[in-house]
A and B are shown apart, each in its own frame.
Chain A
Amino acid sequence: MVSDTQHKTGGNSALPPVLRLSSINKRFGAVHANKDVSLEVSAGTVHGIVGENGAGKSTLVSILYAFYTADSGQIYISGQQQQFKSSADAIRAGIGMVHQHFMLVPNFTVLENIVLGHESSGNLASSKIKAAGELATLAKKYGLEVDLDAVVQDLPVGLQQRVEILKALYRGAQILILDEPTGVLTPQETEQLFEILKALRAQGVTILLITHKLKEIMAITDAVSVMRGGEMVAHLATQDTSPRQLAELMVGRPVLLDVGYSPPTPTDICLKADNISLTQSGTTKLDGLSFSLRSGEILGIAGVSGNGQSELLEILSGIRPPSSGTLSINGHEIGADNPAGPSEIKALGVAHVPEDRHAMGLVLPFSAAESAVLGYEDDARLGSAAYFAPEALHSHCAQLMAEFDVRPASPELKSNLFSGGNQQKLVLAREISSAPKILLVGQPTRGVDIGAIEFIHKQLLSLRDKGCAIILVSVELDEILSLSDRVMVMNAGQNMGIIDRADATIQTVGLMMAGVVDSDVEARR
C-alpha cells in the first residue's frame, strides 16, 4: 500500500542516514500496530511523522525509544545496527524523547529532574554541581535558558517542555523525538518551541516531530513521512507537498479541509445571558457576561484555555448556578435565586457535548450502548422508566452508530476501546439525537483525527441549518473561525466583544484573546 509519491528523503546519498528503521513489525494481540514500517531520517533535519490517531506513530517511536521491543525489524543509527533492550540503551545510542505527557517529577527542581538517572556519582550534591556546569554550556549553545532551581510544577507548560528538551540533550541526545509537542502550548509558546527546534537543527541535532497538525509539518519540517493504519504510506520532501495532499494520504481519501460554510438564516433569540458572573472561592471566574443567541446560528467562543469558557459552559448547561445575573432559555428565567439543574435545562431543549468526554461525556468502562443513553435514561424509546430492555439499548446505539459513522459499530464494546474521534462522534450522536433547540459544544475535535473532524464539523453546520442554535467553545482558533457565524472572545472571564464572521480575522481575534480591545469592537459591544 505504498503510494507512488514515495521517494527517499535527504539529498546527500554519500552519508548513511542518521536513523534508519527497516521493516519494523509490532502486534498487540490482534492489532497489527506497525506493519513493515521503514523510515530513513537524514542527519541535521527536522523530519515529521504525521498520521491520524491509531495510525501507529506512537508505537513506532516507542519502539525507537525501546519502551517496546519490535516483533521484527532492525534499527540502524548512523549505519550501525542497534539492539535496544531498554530505554537506557536508546539513551546511550543518542536518542532523546520529549513525551506528550511530560516525564518530570512535579515537586523536584529543574536540576533534580535533569540529573535523575544520570547522576555522575552517588553524592547528589556533587552530581548537581557538575550537571549545573554542563547545563550552562548547553543552555547557551542552544538558547534554552531556564532557572535550574525552580520547582517544575511552578513553571508554565512551555518552560516544562524546555526542561524536557534540555534533559534529553544533557543525556547526549543527537536524535530528538518530540511526540505531539504543541498540544498543550499557546500559539506564542509554539512559536518559541519552533525557534528552539531551528536552533537545534542548526547545531546538527536531528529532530523527529510526531504530530497530527499539518500546519506544523509545513512550518518546520524538511521531510515528512505519513502513516496510516500501521503502515508508512509516503515519504515526502516538505517543499514538494501540500496540506491537502498530506491530509489525503493520512485519511486515504480526499478530505475537505474547507467544511463548506454557508451564510446562516438566524431567527428568534432563544438564549439570552444577562450580566452573568461567577465567583469561586474568592476568584472571579466570569465577570458580567451578556450575550444572546438566535436559533439557526453558531456563536463561537474563542479564548486561551482557562479564561472562563469552561465555567460558562457549566452555567449554560446547569451544572452550576451563576453567582449573579440571569439566563433566559426559551423564555424561562434562570438565575442565582432560581437555579435549574442539568435535567431541567435539558428539558428546555438544551443538549451539551462536554469539553472533557472522558470525565463528563462518557463512562469509560460502560459499553457504548450504555454510554449512548447517559442523561437520556427516561427516553421513551428505551422502554419503561424502571427497566431498560437490553435489545432497545442495543438497537438505539446501533442506530446512532450507523447515523454518525462510529467505528467499530459494536454497541457492546466498552467506551474506552473506541478512538477519540469515535468516542466524540458517539457523544455527539447521543446529544444531537435528542433533537435539541440549543446545542452547547465544548472542544468538539480535541484529540480527534482529521476524518472525524471533517464529519463533526459537517454535522454541526447541518444541525444549524435545521434551525438549532449552537454555542461552540474551542481553543482551536481555526475551528472557531471556520464554523462560527459570530465570534465572542473571552479574556479573564470577560466578554471582550462579539464580532461578525466577516470581521473575525486571526489578528483581530488574537488581539482580543490577549485582552486588547479595538475601539471599533468596543462600539459594537
Chain B
Amino acid sequence: MADLWLQFVLTIDATIRVATPLMLCAMAGLFSERSGIIDISLEGKMLLAAFAAASVAALTGSPWLALAGGILISLLFSLVHGFACITHKGNQVISGLAINILASGLTVTIGIAIFAQGGQTPFLSSDQRFSSITLPFAQAAGSIPIIGTIYKEILSGHNLLVWLAFVAVGLTSLIVFRTSFGLRLRAVGEKPEAVDSAGISVVAMRYQAVMIAGILCGIAGAYLSVAHGAGFVREMTAGKGYIALAAMIFGNWRPLPAMMACLMFGFLDALAARLQGVSLPMIGEVPTDLILVLPYVLTVVLLAGFIGKSTPPLAIGTPYIKER
C-alpha cells in the first residue's frame, strides 16, 4: 500500500515536470490566440528555443544566458509570424506551419554545423543547467507520512522554470482578466474594429500578444534542453507544442482550465512512462506503444469536440483589414 502511494506521488511529481513546457506553451498560445492570431508555431518556436538554449549553454556554460538565448530566438520567430500574419495579413496556419518546418530542419542543420554530433548538442553538465531546488527540510519531512511525502517528492526538487510555469499561469490569468491591457487584448481578438475605432492600434496590440507568446515559448524550449533535459536532441519537442495548443483549446482559451488540461496531459504521459512493462491486474502487460500513444489519442478526441464545446475568439484567424 505504502509502495503504491509512493508510486502515485512520484507519478504526480513526473506529471508536473512533463506539464511544465505544456503550461508555458499553452499560456503563449493563449496570449496569441486571444488577440486573434492562431499560433500553431508554438512547436517550432519551442524547438528553436530548446536548440538555441542548449547551444548557448554548451558554449558559455551559463544556464541564464541559455535561457536568454532561447527566449531571444523564439521572440525573433514570433516576430516573423507577426510580420507574415499581422503586417502582411497572411494565412496564420500556413505561417505557423512554415515556422515549424523551418525549425525542424534548421535546428539539426545548424547543430551539425556547430557541434558535429548528428544534430545533437553536447551533453550539459549540471552546472550548465537549471538545477533542482530542494526546499528546506525536505529530507527531514520525507519521514512524515502523506504530507511529508507530498512535500518532499512533489513540491521539492523542481528547478526554477517549473515554478516559473505556475507563476506564468497566474500572471496570465491576472493580465488577461484583471488589467486594461487584458481587456484590449480580448477585444482585439473578438472585434478588432471596436478597438480600432477606440483609437487603439490593432497592429500594435497583436504584435505585443505574439511577442509575449514568443517569450513564453522561449522559456518552454529552454526548460526542455537546459532544465528538464541535458542538451538538445533532434525533434525533442515531439508534438508538445500541438498538445499545448490542444490543452489551451480544451481549456476554452482560459488560463486555469488550460493549466488543468496541461496537467492532465502531463499525467497521462507520466503514467504511460510508469506503466511500461508493468503488468496490470486483469489486463496484463500493456504494450508500451499503446500507452505512449494515449496523450495523442486524447488530443484527437478532445479536439474532435467530444468533450465540451469550445468558443474561440470571434476574430481568430482573420487578418484585420480596415473597411474599404
Contacts and interface: CB of A to CB of B under 8 A. Distances in A.
Given A123-B178, A124-B180, A124-B182, A105 B198 contact: no
Taking each of B181, B194, B195, B314, which has the highest tally of chain A beta carbons within 10 Å of its own beta carbon?
B194
A105 B199 contact: no
Interface of B: 177-184, 186-187, 190-191, 193-201, 314, 322, 324
A297 interface: no
A33 B171 CA distance: 48
A381 interface: no
A91 B190 contact: no
B195 A122 contact: no
Interface in A110-167: 112-113, 115-119, 121-125, 127
A144 to B, nearest CB: 19
Those 7 A-B pairs whose CB atoms lie nearest each other, nearest first: A117-B198, A88-B199, A119-B180, A103-B197, A103-B194, A87-B199, A105-B191
A115 B197 CA distance: 13
Nearest to B311: A107
Nearest to A98: B197
Contacts of B197: 65, 87, 97, 99, 103
Nearest to B191: A105
A106 interface: yes
Interface string A14-48: 00000000000000100000000000000000000
B191 A104 contact: yes
A452 B270 CA distance: 70
Interface in A275-319: none
Interface of A: 28, 65, 67, 86-91, 97, 99, 101, 103-108, 112-113, 115-119, 121-125, 127, 171
Nearest to B182: A124
Given A87-B199, A125-B178, A116 B184 contact: yes
Contact of A112 (B179, B183, B314): B183
Contacts of B314: 106-107
Contacts of A124: 177-180, 182-183
A378 B62 CA distance: 75
A126 B187 CA distance: 18
Given A67-B322, A106-B314, A108-B187, A117 B179 contact: no
A29 to B, nearest CB: 12
17 contacts: A67-B322, A87-B197, A90-B199, A91-B198, A91-B199, A97-B197, A99-B193, A101-B193, A103-B196, A105-B186, A105-B187, A107-B190, A108-B186, A117-B200, A121-B180, A122-B179, A125-B178
A87 to B, nearest CB: 4
A124 B197 CA distance: 20
B175 to A, nearest CB: 10
Contacts of B183: 108, 112, 115-116, 119, 124
A295 B190 CA distance: 50
B60 to A, nearest CB: 36
Contacts of B180: 115, 119, 121-124, 127
A168 to B, nearest CB: 10
Nearest to B198: A117
Contacts of A171: 198
Given A105-B191, A106-B191, A118 B198 contact: yes
Nearest to B178: A124
Chain B CB within 10 Å — which of A90, A112, A122 has the most?
A122
Contacts of A103: 191, 193-194, 196-198
Contacts of A122: 179-181
Contacts of B191: 103-106
Nearest to B313: A107
A117 B184 contact: yes
Nearest to B324: A28
A124 B174 CA distance: 10
Nearest to A126: B180
B181 A116 contact: no
Contacts of A91: 198-199
A394 to B, nearest CB: 29
Nearest to A127: B180
A89 to B, nearest CB: 8
A116 B178 contact: no
A125 B182 CA distance: 12
A125 B196 CA distance: 22
A106 B189 CA distance: 11
Contacts of A28: 324
Contacts of B322: 67
Given A97-B197, A108-B187, 6 more contacts: A99-B197, A105-B194, A117-B195, A117-B200, A123-B179, A127-B180
A170 to B, nearest CB: 11
A116 B179 contact: no
Nearest to B181: A122
A86 B193 contact: no
B195 A116 contact: yes
A104 B194 contact: yes
B190 A106 contact: yes
Nearest to B315: A105
B186 to A, nearest CB: 8
A447 B322 CA distance: 21
B179 A105 contact: no
Contacts of B193: 99, 101, 103
Nearest to A113: B194
Contact of B199 (A113, A117, A127): A117
Contacts of B198: 87, 91, 103, 116-118, 171
A115 B198 CA distance: 9
A90 to B, nearest CB: 8
A87 B196 contact: yes
A115 B184 CA distance: 10
A108 B190 contact: yes
Counting chain A CB atoms within 10 Å of each CB, which of B184, B190, B191 scores highest?
A: B191
A88 B200 contact: yes
B98 to A, nearest CB: 27
B184 to A, nearest CB: 7
A237 B201 CA distance: 39
A116 B194 contact: yes
A88 B201 CA distance: 9
